A and B are shown apart, each in its own frame.
Chain A
Protein backbone atom coordinates (compact mmCIF):
# COMPACT_ATOMS: atom_id res chain seq x y z
CA UNK A 1 0.00 0.00 0.00
CA UNK A 2 2.72 2.43 1.01
CA UNK A 3 4.64 1.80 -2.22
CA UNK A 4 1.82 3.59 -4.03
CA UNK A 5 2.01 6.54 -1.68
CA UNK A 6 3.79 9.35 -3.47
CA UNK A 7 5.72 11.62 -1.15
CA UNK A 8 7.24 13.18 -4.25
CA UNK A 9 3.90 14.52 -5.41
CA UNK A 10 3.25 15.92 -1.93
CA UNK A 11 6.57 17.77 -2.09
CA UNK A 12 5.57 19.09 -5.48
CA UNK A 13 2.33 20.43 -4.02
CA UNK A 14 3.92 21.82 -0.86
CA UNK A 15 3.75 25.47 -1.99
CA UNK A 16 0.02 25.03 -2.56
CA UNK A 17 -0.39 23.56 0.93
CA UNK A 18 1.74 26.33 2.37
CA UNK A 19 -0.58 28.83 0.76
CA UNK A 20 -3.65 26.91 2.01
CA UNK A 21 -2.23 26.72 5.51
CA UNK A 22 -1.63 30.46 5.61
CA UNK A 23 -5.09 31.11 4.19
CA UNK A 24 -6.83 28.88 6.73
CA UNK A 25 -4.82 30.49 9.51
CA UNK A 26 -5.56 34.09 8.65
CA UNK A 27 -9.16 33.61 7.66
CA UNK A 28 -9.71 31.74 10.94
CA UNK A 29 -8.15 34.60 12.87
CA UNK A 30 -10.26 37.19 11.09
CA UNK A 31 -13.40 35.05 11.50
CA UNK A 32 -12.71 34.52 15.18
CA UNK A 33 -12.27 38.25 15.71
CA UNK A 34 -15.61 38.67 13.94
CA UNK A 35 -17.13 35.95 16.10
CA UNK A 36 -15.96 37.77 19.23
CA UNK A 37 -17.57 40.99 18.03
CA UNK A 38 -20.82 39.19 17.15
CA UNK A 39 -20.72 37.19 20.38
CA UNK A 40 -20.12 40.17 22.66
CA UNK A 41 -22.93 42.10 20.99
CA UNK A 42 -25.36 39.18 21.22
CA UNK A 43 -24.41 38.50 24.81
CA UNK A 44 -24.86 42.15 25.79
CA UNK A 45 -28.32 42.09 24.17
CA UNK A 46 -29.17 38.81 25.84
CA UNK A 47 -28.30 40.10 29.32
CA UNK A 48 -30.56 43.15 29.06
CA UNK A 49 -33.90 43.28 30.78
CA UNK A 50 -35.54 44.81 27.70
CA UNK A 51 -37.30 42.09 25.71
CA UNK A 52 -36.83 44.08 22.51
CA UNK A 53 -33.10 43.35 22.70
CA UNK A 54 -33.19 40.02 24.46
CA UNK A 55 -35.67 38.17 22.22
CA UNK A 56 -33.92 38.83 18.87
CA UNK A 57 -30.59 37.73 20.36
CA UNK A 58 -32.13 34.53 21.72
CA UNK A 59 -33.84 33.73 18.42
CA UNK A 60 -30.64 34.37 16.48
CA UNK A 61 -28.63 32.09 18.77
CA UNK A 62 -31.26 29.33 18.51
CA UNK A 63 -31.46 29.56 14.72
CA UNK A 64 -27.68 29.37 14.32
CA UNK A 65 -27.34 26.49 16.73
CA UNK A 66 -30.25 24.56 15.26
CA UNK A 67 -29.13 24.72 11.61
CA UNK A 68 -26.04 23.25 9.95
CA UNK A 69 -23.19 25.62 9.16
CA UNK A 70 -23.24 24.31 5.58
CA UNK A 71 -26.86 25.45 5.19
CA UNK A 72 -25.94 28.88 6.57
CA UNK A 73 -22.98 29.09 4.20
CA UNK A 74 -25.11 28.12 1.19
CA UNK A 75 -27.77 30.58 2.22
CA UNK A 76 -25.22 33.39 2.11
CA UNK A 77 -23.49 32.09 -1.02
CA UNK A 78 -26.51 31.27 -3.17
CA UNK A 79 -29.22 33.20 -1.37
CA UNK A 80 -27.68 36.66 -1.02
CA UNK A 81 -27.02 37.18 -4.75
CA UNK A 82 -30.70 36.40 -5.40
CA UNK A 83 -31.51 39.18 -2.95
CA UNK A 84 -29.23 41.46 -4.93
CA UNK A 85 -26.20 41.33 -2.61
CA UNK A 86 -23.10 40.14 -4.41
CA UNK A 87 -20.00 39.58 -2.30
CA UNK A 88 -16.67 37.85 -2.95
CA UNK A 89 -16.48 34.18 -1.83
CA UNK A 90 -13.81 34.82 0.74
CA UNK A 91 -15.85 37.56 2.34
CA UNK A 92 -18.92 35.32 2.42
CA UNK A 93 -16.87 32.56 3.99
CA UNK A 94 -15.54 34.80 6.75
CA UNK A 95 -19.00 36.27 7.30
CA UNK A 96 -20.56 32.80 7.65
CA UNK A 97 -17.92 31.64 10.12
CA UNK A 98 -18.19 34.83 12.18
CA UNK A 99 -21.98 34.77 12.30
CA UNK A 100 -22.01 31.07 13.13
CA UNK A 101 -19.26 31.03 15.73
CA UNK A 102 -20.55 34.29 17.23
CA UNK A 103 -23.66 32.51 18.50
CA UNK A 104 -21.54 29.98 20.38
CA UNK A 105 -19.18 32.67 21.64
CA UNK A 106 -22.19 34.60 22.97
CA UNK A 107 -23.25 31.61 25.04
CA UNK A 108 -19.70 31.03 26.31
CA UNK A 109 -19.38 34.64 27.44
CA UNK A 110 -22.84 34.59 28.99
CA UNK A 111 -21.97 31.47 30.98
CA UNK A 112 -18.76 33.21 32.12
CA UNK A 113 -20.65 36.28 33.29
CA UNK A 114 -23.33 34.22 35.02
CA UNK A 115 -20.65 32.19 36.81
CA UNK A 116 -19.63 35.30 38.75
CA UNK A 117 -21.34 35.05 42.11
CA UNK A 118 -24.21 37.32 43.07
CA UNK A 119 -22.10 38.42 46.05
CA UNK A 120 -19.57 40.07 43.71
CA UNK A 121 -22.30 42.08 42.03
CA UNK A 122 -23.79 43.03 45.39
CA UNK A 123 -20.40 44.18 46.69
CA UNK A 124 -20.24 46.50 43.69
CA UNK A 125 -23.79 47.74 44.17
CA UNK A 126 -23.25 48.31 47.88
CA UNK A 127 -20.20 50.49 47.22
CA UNK A 128 -22.19 52.75 44.94
CA UNK A 129 -21.00 51.51 41.54
CA UNK A 130 -23.22 51.96 38.52
CA UNK A 131 -24.16 49.02 36.29
CA UNK A 132 -21.34 49.79 33.85
CA UNK A 133 -18.74 50.28 36.57
CA UNK A 134 -19.70 46.92 38.08
CA UNK A 135 -19.44 45.24 34.70
CA UNK A 136 -16.13 46.87 33.81
CA UNK A 137 -14.38 46.66 37.17
CA UNK A 138 -15.83 43.59 38.85
CA UNK A 139 -17.71 41.18 36.59
CA UNK A 140 -15.95 41.23 33.20
CA UNK A 141 -12.35 40.92 34.44
CA UNK A 142 -13.37 37.81 36.38
CA UNK A 143 -15.59 36.41 33.62
CA UNK A 144 -12.73 36.91 31.15
CA UNK A 145 -10.60 34.38 33.03
CA UNK A 146 -13.24 31.64 33.03
CA UNK A 147 -14.03 32.31 29.39
CA UNK A 148 -10.58 31.89 27.89
CA UNK A 149 -10.36 28.06 27.89
CA UNK A 150 -13.82 27.48 26.31
CA UNK A 151 -13.17 30.31 23.83
CA UNK A 152 -9.99 28.59 22.66
CA UNK A 153 -12.04 25.40 22.33
CA UNK A 154 -14.43 27.31 20.09
CA UNK A 155 -11.46 28.61 18.09
CA UNK A 156 -10.41 25.00 17.43
CA UNK A 157 -13.94 24.21 16.20
CA UNK A 158 -13.84 27.28 13.96
CA UNK A 159 -10.59 26.22 12.32
CA UNK A 160 -12.09 22.85 11.43
CA UNK A 161 -15.36 24.44 10.29
CA UNK A 162 -13.41 26.65 7.91
CA UNK A 163 -12.90 23.51 5.78
CA UNK A 164 -16.45 24.03 4.51
CA UNK A 165 -15.29 27.16 2.70
CA UNK A 166 -13.62 24.83 0.19
CA UNK A 167 -17.16 24.13 -1.04
CA UNK A 168 -17.55 27.73 -2.19
CA UNK A 169 -14.08 27.51 -3.76
CA UNK A 170 -12.14 29.56 -1.26
CA UNK A 171 -8.51 28.49 -1.54
CA UNK A 172 -7.62 27.12 1.83
CA UNK A 173 -6.27 23.87 3.27
CA UNK A 174 -9.05 21.48 2.36
CA UNK A 175 -9.22 23.01 -1.11
CA UNK A 176 -5.51 22.30 -1.51
CA UNK A 177 -6.16 18.64 -0.66
CA UNK A 178 -9.03 18.52 -3.12
CA UNK A 179 -6.86 19.92 -5.89
CA UNK A 180 -4.17 17.34 -5.33
CA UNK A 181 -6.81 14.63 -5.19
CA UNK A 182 -8.54 15.65 -8.42
CA UNK A 183 -5.53 16.80 -10.51
CA UNK A 184 -3.40 13.74 -9.80
CA UNK A 185 -6.04 11.28 -8.61
CA UNK A 186 -4.24 11.06 -5.29
CA UNK A 187 -6.91 11.56 -2.61
CA UNK A 188 -4.85 9.73 0.07
CA UNK A 189 -1.85 12.03 -0.36
CA UNK A 190 -4.04 15.10 -0.67
CA UNK A 191 -6.19 14.63 2.36
CA UNK A 192 -3.48 13.23 4.63
CA UNK A 193 -1.41 16.34 3.98
CA UNK A 194 -4.46 18.46 4.68
CA UNK A 195 -5.09 16.56 7.90
CA UNK A 196 -1.47 16.98 8.99
CA UNK A 197 -1.77 20.75 8.53
CA UNK A 198 -4.97 20.88 10.62
CA UNK A 199 -3.19 18.84 13.28
CA UNK A 200 -0.40 21.43 13.37
CA UNK A 201 -2.96 24.22 13.80
CA UNK A 202 -4.72 22.20 16.49
CA UNK A 203 -1.54 21.70 18.49
CA UNK A 204 -0.73 25.38 18.17
CA UNK A 205 -4.08 26.32 19.69
CA UNK A 206 -3.79 23.62 22.32
CA UNK A 207 -0.41 24.96 23.43
CA UNK A 208 -1.95 28.41 23.62
CA UNK A 209 -4.81 27.03 25.73
CA UNK A 210 -2.43 25.23 28.06
CA UNK A 211 -0.21 28.27 28.58
CA UNK A 212 -3.24 30.51 29.14
CA UNK A 213 -4.47 28.09 31.78
CA UNK A 214 -1.08 28.15 33.46
CA UNK A 215 -1.16 31.95 33.37
CA UNK A 216 -4.63 31.94 34.91
CA UNK A 217 -3.56 29.53 37.63
CA UNK A 218 -0.70 31.83 38.61
CA UNK A 219 -3.19 34.53 39.46
CA UNK A 220 -5.46 33.77 42.39
CA UNK A 221 -9.10 34.01 41.45
CA UNK A 222 -11.36 32.31 43.99
CA UNK A 223 -12.33 33.47 47.46
CA UNK A 224 -11.13 30.90 49.96
CA UNK A 225 -14.25 30.75 52.06
Chain B
Protein backbone atom coordinates (compact mmCIF):
# COMPACT_ATOMS: atom_id res chain seq x y z
CA UNK B 1 0.00 0.00 0.00
CA UNK B 2 2.89 2.32 0.88
CA UNK B 3 6.27 1.51 -0.60
CA UNK B 4 9.46 3.45 0.11
CA UNK B 5 12.50 2.38 -1.90
CA UNK B 6 15.79 4.15 -1.33
CA UNK B 7 14.10 7.45 -0.48
CA UNK B 8 16.29 10.44 0.39
CA UNK B 9 15.36 13.93 1.44
CA UNK B 10 17.28 17.01 2.45
CA UNK B 11 16.29 20.26 4.17
CA UNK B 12 19.08 22.44 2.80
CA UNK B 13 22.25 20.73 3.95
CA UNK B 14 20.40 18.58 6.49
CA UNK B 15 19.94 14.99 5.32
CA UNK B 16 16.56 14.25 6.98
CA UNK B 17 15.64 10.97 5.30
CA UNK B 18 18.49 8.60 4.57
CA UNK B 19 17.92 5.80 2.10
CA UNK B 20 14.52 4.83 3.52
CA UNK B 21 13.15 1.46 2.40
CA UNK B 22 9.87 0.36 3.91
CA UNK B 23 6.81 -1.54 2.84
CA UNK B 24 3.40 -1.16 4.45
CA UNK B 25 0.87 -3.81 3.44
CA UNK B 26 -2.86 -3.14 3.12
CA UNK B 27 -4.60 -3.30 6.54
CA UNK B 28 -1.25 -3.17 8.29
CA UNK B 29 -0.64 -0.87 11.26
CA UNK B 30 2.91 0.43 11.60
CA UNK B 31 4.10 2.50 14.54
CA UNK B 32 7.03 4.85 13.97
CA UNK B 33 9.11 5.99 16.92
CA UNK B 34 12.45 7.59 17.56
CA UNK B 35 14.07 10.59 19.17
CA UNK B 36 13.01 14.15 18.40
CA UNK B 37 14.34 15.37 15.09
CA UNK B 38 14.93 11.87 13.75
CA UNK B 39 12.66 12.50 10.76
CA UNK B 40 9.45 10.70 11.78
CA UNK B 41 7.13 13.54 10.82
CA UNK B 42 9.00 14.13 7.59
CA UNK B 43 8.68 10.44 6.73
CA UNK B 44 4.90 10.33 6.97
CA UNK B 45 4.42 13.83 5.54
CA UNK B 46 6.10 12.61 2.34
CA UNK B 47 3.37 10.00 1.89
CA UNK B 48 0.66 12.55 1.18
CA UNK B 49 3.00 15.03 -0.45
CA UNK B 50 3.14 17.59 2.35
CA UNK B 51 6.88 17.19 1.79
CA UNK B 52 8.52 16.19 -1.46
CA UNK B 53 11.30 13.63 -1.75
CA UNK B 54 14.61 14.22 -3.49
CA UNK B 55 15.23 10.76 -4.89
CA UNK B 56 14.19 7.15 -4.59
CA UNK B 57 10.73 5.73 -5.16
CA UNK B 58 7.64 6.31 -3.09
CA UNK B 59 4.56 4.47 -4.26
CA UNK B 60 1.25 5.08 -2.47
CA UNK B 61 -1.88 3.12 -3.37
CA UNK B 62 -0.25 2.04 -6.63
CA UNK B 63 0.70 5.58 -7.68
CA UNK B 64 4.28 6.79 -7.82
CA UNK B 65 4.70 10.22 -6.21
CA UNK B 66 6.31 12.78 -8.46
CA UNK B 67 5.02 11.08 -11.61
CA UNK B 68 3.24 13.28 -14.10
CA UNK B 69 0.33 10.85 -14.13
CA UNK B 70 -0.13 11.03 -10.37
CA UNK B 71 -2.82 13.50 -9.37
CA UNK B 72 -1.84 14.55 -5.86
CA UNK B 73 -5.19 16.09 -4.87
CA UNK B 74 -6.92 12.88 -5.89
CA UNK B 75 -4.39 10.74 -4.06
CA UNK B 76 -4.79 12.84 -0.91
CA UNK B 77 -8.50 12.07 -0.75
CA UNK B 78 -7.45 8.45 -0.15
CA UNK B 79 -4.95 9.36 2.56
CA UNK B 80 -6.15 10.83 5.84
CA UNK B 81 -3.73 12.83 7.97
CA UNK B 82 -4.14 13.53 11.69
CA UNK B 83 -1.94 16.31 13.03
CA UNK B 84 -0.35 16.70 16.43
CA UNK B 85 -2.02 20.12 16.77
CA UNK B 86 -5.44 18.92 15.42
CA UNK B 87 -5.71 21.78 12.90
CA UNK B 88 -9.49 21.87 13.01
CA UNK B 89 -11.05 24.79 11.18
CA UNK B 90 -11.79 27.19 14.04
CA UNK B 91 -14.54 29.06 12.16
CA UNK B 92 -16.55 25.88 11.59
CA UNK B 93 -18.52 23.69 13.99
CA UNK B 94 -17.54 20.08 14.60
CA UNK B 95 -20.10 18.89 12.05
CA UNK B 96 -19.05 21.51 9.49
CA UNK B 97 -15.44 20.46 9.99
CA UNK B 98 -16.13 16.84 9.14
CA UNK B 99 -18.38 17.48 6.12
CA UNK B 100 -16.34 20.24 4.45
CA UNK B 101 -14.05 18.05 2.38
CA UNK B 102 -16.67 15.37 1.62
CA UNK B 103 -18.90 18.09 0.13
CA UNK B 104 -16.30 20.11 -1.74
CA UNK B 105 -13.69 17.49 -2.60
CA UNK B 106 -15.67 14.26 -2.80
CA UNK B 107 -18.73 16.16 -4.16
CA UNK B 108 -21.15 14.32 -1.91
CA UNK B 109 -24.57 16.06 -1.60
CA UNK B 110 -24.75 18.11 1.58
CA UNK B 111 -27.68 16.23 3.16
CA UNK B 112 -25.95 12.92 2.62
CA UNK B 113 -22.63 14.24 3.95
CA UNK B 114 -24.38 15.52 7.07
CA UNK B 115 -25.90 12.14 7.82
CA UNK B 116 -22.51 10.47 7.43
CA UNK B 117 -20.83 13.23 9.43
CA UNK B 118 -23.23 12.87 12.35
CA UNK B 119 -22.76 9.12 12.29
CA UNK B 120 -18.99 9.49 12.31
CA UNK B 121 -18.98 12.03 15.16
CA UNK B 122 -21.26 9.74 17.16
CA UNK B 123 -18.84 6.91 16.51
CA UNK B 124 -15.96 8.85 18.06
CA UNK B 125 -18.17 9.64 21.07
CA UNK B 126 -19.16 13.20 20.17
CA UNK B 127 -22.86 12.81 19.47
CA UNK B 128 -23.59 15.81 21.70
CA UNK B 129 -21.01 18.12 20.12
CA UNK B 130 -22.19 18.52 16.51
CA UNK B 131 -22.66 22.26 16.85
CA UNK B 132 -19.68 23.06 19.06
CA UNK B 133 -16.83 25.14 17.71
CA UNK B 134 -13.28 23.78 18.17
CA UNK B 135 -12.56 26.45 20.77
CA UNK B 136 -15.40 25.02 22.87
CA UNK B 137 -13.94 21.50 22.84
CA UNK B 138 -11.22 19.92 24.94
CA UNK B 139 -8.01 18.78 23.26
CA UNK B 140 -9.10 15.16 23.31
CA UNK B 141 -12.45 16.06 21.78
CA UNK B 142 -10.79 18.17 19.11
CA UNK B 143 -8.49 15.35 18.14
CA UNK B 144 -11.45 12.97 17.90
CA UNK B 145 -13.21 15.44 15.59
CA UNK B 146 -10.02 15.54 13.53
CA UNK B 147 -10.04 11.74 13.24
CA UNK B 148 -13.73 11.78 12.29
CA UNK B 149 -12.92 14.44 9.69
CA UNK B 150 -10.46 12.05 8.05
CA UNK B 151 -12.75 9.04 8.31
CA UNK B 152 -15.58 10.93 6.58
CA UNK B 153 -13.46 10.97 3.44
CA UNK B 154 -13.44 7.15 3.52
CA UNK B 155 -9.67 6.99 3.06
CA UNK B 156 -7.68 3.86 2.31
CA UNK B 157 -4.74 4.96 4.43
CA UNK B 158 -4.52 6.99 7.61
CA UNK B 159 -1.41 8.75 8.87
CA UNK B 160 -1.07 10.02 12.43
CA UNK B 161 1.69 12.40 13.52
CA UNK B 162 1.98 12.22 17.32
CA UNK B 163 -1.82 12.47 17.72
CA UNK B 164 -1.72 12.40 21.51
CA UNK B 165 1.41 14.32 22.40
CA UNK B 166 -0.35 17.69 22.64
CA UNK B 167 -2.97 16.24 25.01
CA UNK B 168 -3.28 16.25 28.77
CA UNK B 169 -2.67 12.73 30.14
CA UNK B 170 -6.29 12.09 31.04
CA UNK B 171 -7.40 12.66 27.44
CA UNK B 172 -4.87 10.42 25.77
CA UNK B 173 -6.79 7.19 26.20
CA UNK B 174 -10.04 8.52 24.69
CA UNK B 175 -8.14 9.30 21.48
CA UNK B 176 -6.16 6.06 21.51
CA UNK B 177 -9.38 4.09 21.95
CA UNK B 178 -10.78 5.65 18.80
CA UNK B 179 -7.56 4.86 16.94
CA UNK B 180 -7.66 1.25 18.13
CA UNK B 181 -11.21 1.05 16.80
CA UNK B 182 -10.09 2.37 13.40
CA UNK B 183 -7.21 -0.12 13.31
CA UNK B 184 -9.47 -3.02 14.18
CA UNK B 185 -11.74 -2.17 11.28
CA UNK B 186 -8.81 -2.90 8.99
CA UNK B 187 -7.48 0.56 8.11
CA UNK B 188 -3.94 0.79 6.76
CA UNK B 189 -2.22 3.04 9.29
CA UNK B 190 1.15 4.63 9.95
CA UNK B 191 1.28 6.16 13.39
CA UNK B 192 4.09 8.25 14.81
CA UNK B 193 3.74 7.77 18.55
CA UNK B 194 5.57 6.79 21.68
CA UNK B 195 2.48 5.15 23.19
CA UNK B 196 3.70 1.63 23.73
CA UNK B 197 0.33 0.36 24.88
CA UNK B 198 -1.19 1.33 21.56
CA UNK B 199 1.70 -0.21 19.64
CA UNK B 200 1.42 -3.47 21.55
CA UNK B 201 -2.31 -3.65 21.02
CA UNK B 202 -2.66 -2.99 17.29
CA UNK B 203 0.70 -2.56 15.54
CA UNK B 204 2.16 -5.37 13.54
CA UNK B 205 5.50 -3.62 13.36
CA UNK B 206 7.40 -0.89 15.08
CA UNK B 207 9.83 1.16 13.02
CA UNK B 208 12.57 2.87 14.98
CA UNK B 209 14.21 5.88 13.37
CA UNK B 210 17.30 7.78 14.37
CA UNK B 211 19.04 10.63 12.56
CA UNK B 212 16.95 10.19 9.43
CA UNK B 213 17.47 6.46 9.00
CA UNK B 214 15.41 3.41 9.88
CA UNK B 215 17.59 1.70 12.45
CA UNK B 216 15.40 -1.17 13.51
CA UNK B 217 12.09 -2.79 12.61
CA UNK B 218 10.25 -5.53 14.43
CA UNK B 219 7.06 -6.71 16.06
CA UNK B 220 6.19 -4.55 19.08
CA UNK B 221 6.67 -7.27 21.69
CA UNK B 222 10.14 -8.01 20.43
CA UNK B 223 11.12 -4.37 19.93
CA UNK B 224 10.05 -3.21 23.36
CA UNK B 225 11.33 -6.16 25.37
CA UNK B 226 14.42 -6.98 23.40
CA UNK B 227 15.71 -4.04 21.33
CA UNK B 228 18.61 -5.02 19.13
CA UNK B 229 20.63 -1.86 18.70
CA UNK B 230 22.36 0.42 21.19
CA UNK B 231 20.44 3.39 19.87
CA UNK B 232 17.02 1.79 20.30
CA UNK B 233 18.00 0.58 23.77
CA UNK B 234 19.09 4.09 24.75
CA UNK B 235 15.87 5.55 23.31
CA UNK B 236 13.62 3.04 25.08
CA UNK B 237 15.33 3.51 28.42
CA UNK B 238 14.61 7.22 28.05
CA UNK B 239 10.90 6.91 27.27
CA UNK B 240 10.45 4.18 29.87
CA UNK B 241 11.91 6.31 32.62
CA UNK B 242 8.79 8.45 32.74
A contacts, CB < 8 Å to B: 117, 119-120, 122-123, 125-130, 133, 137-138, 141-142, 145, 219-225
Contact = CB atoms under 8 A, between A and B. Distances in A.
B107 to A, nearest CB: 11
B77 A128 contact: yes
Contacts of A138: 89
Query: Which among A128, A133, A138, A224 has the highest number of chain B CB atoms within 10 Å?
Result: A128
B76 A142 contact: no
A221 B90 contact: yes
Contact of A127 (B90, B134, B136, B149): B149
Given A122-B50, A225-B85, A133 B139 contact: no
B53 interface: no
CB-based closest 3 A-B pairs: A220-B135, A127-B101, A128-B77
Given A119-B87, A123-B87, 14 more contacts: A122-B83, A123-B89, A125-B48, A126-B50, A127-B101, A127-B105, A129-B101, A137-B89, A138-B89, A220-B90, A220-B136, A223-B87, A224-B134, A224-B139
Contacts of B138: 224
Contacts of A223: 85-88, 90, 134-135, 142
A19 to B, nearest CB: 43
B105 A222 contact: no
Contacts of A125: 48-50, 76
B135 A129 contact: no
A119 B74 CA distance: 20
Given A119-B85, A122-B83, A128-B73, A221 B91 contact: yes
A128 B153 contact: yes
A129 B105 contact: yes
A197 B85 CA distance: 50
Contacts of B49: 125
A128 B86 CA distance: 17
A224 B85 CA distance: 10
A225 B86 contact: yes
B192 interface: no
B134 A137 contact: no
Nearest to A119: B87
A84 to B, nearest CB: 49
A190 B89 CA distance: 53
7 contacts: A120-B89, A128-B105, A129-B101, A142-B91, A223-B87, A224-B137, A225-B86
Nearest to B106: A128
B215 interface: no
B91 A141 contact: yes
Contacts of A141: 91
B43 interface: no
B7 interface: no
B187 to A, nearest CB: 16
B104 interface: yes
Interface string B137-153: 11100100000011001
Query: Which among B87, B136, B149, B153 has the highest number of chain A CB atoms within 10 Å?
Result: B87
Interface string B65-90: 00000000110110111010111111
Query: Which among B79, B88, B89, B91 has the highest number of chain A CB atoms within 10 Å?
Result: B91
B73 A130 contact: yes
A124 to B, nearest CB: 8
A220 B89 CA distance: 11
B76 A220 contact: no
Nearest to A133: B104
B166 interface: yes
B213 interface: no
A37 B81 CA distance: 37
Nearest to B93: A220
Nearest to A122: B50
B242 to A, nearest CB: 21
Contact of A145 (B77, B91, B136, B150): B91
Nearest to A221: B90
Given A122-B87, A127-B76, A225 B81 contact: no
